[in-house]
Structure 1
């Protein structure tokens, strides 16, 4: 699971950096903070798996899913910070970046933190529902952003 999750993050990171062509210290720091969250992902994944492997309800499974969803909330926040910082007034974007593609990424990313907050709360009500929704979100973020025009060739 960690491999698939990190793979999806890699895809999204690559997708946004096809538009980002310049960098500065702030972007580098935000990118390092995202990396910090990414390298932490195997821990909450293993923690959640430990509780789910028991096949019976465990009083701390809600805490395990909260740590798991909280990690993804942080990841979504840092992805948004990187993208919004770079895209603000095309600060660090390629001069040829497709405005429609930039808007599509902004639109898709806008919902990530909110959805992970909802999952965080749902985990305290129903661990299975929270995990199922988390898997659906992973599929959603794994799909390429929909635009009517392809990215320009470099």
Structure 2
């Protein structure tokens, strides 16, 4: 396996995250003057803004989810120091899901007020499940036996990340179940999950000698 710098992959990934998170704002519409051209008064303006609560709720949930996934992407690439073709493919698959998120977000903002219409929220939660699953596969492929990690990677931090991500896909399945019962509750649950995955891991300690019992991913 050839050793490669991850800088270009991280820079490209940052660009995709930035595009995806920016697209979310396009569904928020500014209140305009009425049909006669008269500006809205204060009460009418507040009412027009409040009417966009489904769009704003979906925006906040997706914005924080994408932002926190970017944070986690940055976190794992503190440990990942080498590239190979499968890793680049898995990263591309993750980015495809990330940049797709504005689509179910837009759909959900239209259908959230119709509790009997479950397709939009199921697509929304299903997209997050696919994202969590892909993120797990990417991390576990890179970290398995230290395959693509730096030689001085902090194995305690690596193990903590692995434990934190272990139940990601499972809890997003729970979000899918909640979506059948209550759409706003599913949105809030997705937001809470994103916050959970933003919790810090053990700080990276490069250049420090690892105790023998922490050398979890070394062969032999």
Structure 2 length normalisation: TM-score?
Answer: 0.63
- What is residue 133 of structure 1 aligned with on the other side? 189
What are the Cα deviations for residues 59-107 of structure 1, in whole angstroms up to 9, with x where unaligned?
Answer: 21x2111101100001001100110000111000111111110011001
- Equivalents in 1 of 2:103, 2:141: separation in Å? 29
Using a 3 Å threshold, how does the CA distance of structure 1 residues 58 and 118 change in structure 2: closer, same or farther? Answer: closer
- Of residues 19-28 and 127-136 in structure 1, the stretch that sits farther from structure 2 once superposed is 127-136
Q: Which runs of 4+ in 1 moved over 2 A?
A: 1-5
Matched, 1:30 2:90: yes
RMSD: 1.4
Shift of 1:4: 2.8
Structure 1 length normalisation: TM-score?
Answer: 0.89
Matched, 1:152 2:205: yes
Number of corresponding residues: 147
- Equivalents in 2 of 1:118, 1:29: separation in Å? 28
Shift of 1:127: 1.6
Secondary structure of residue in 1 paired with 2:197: helix
Q: 1:115 aligns with which of 171, 188, 208?
A: 171
- What is residue 105 of structure 1 aligned with on the other side? 161
- Equivalents in 2 of 1:78, 1:89: separation in Å? 19
- What is residue 140 of structure 2 aligned with on the other side? 84
Matched, 1:59 2:112: no
- What is residue 71 of structure 2 aligned with on the other side? 11
Larger radius of gyration: 2
Shift of 1:131: 1.5
Q: 2:130 aligns with which of 51, 54, 74?
A: 74
Shift of 1:37: 0.1
- Structure 2, unpaired ranges of 5+: 1-58, 208-220
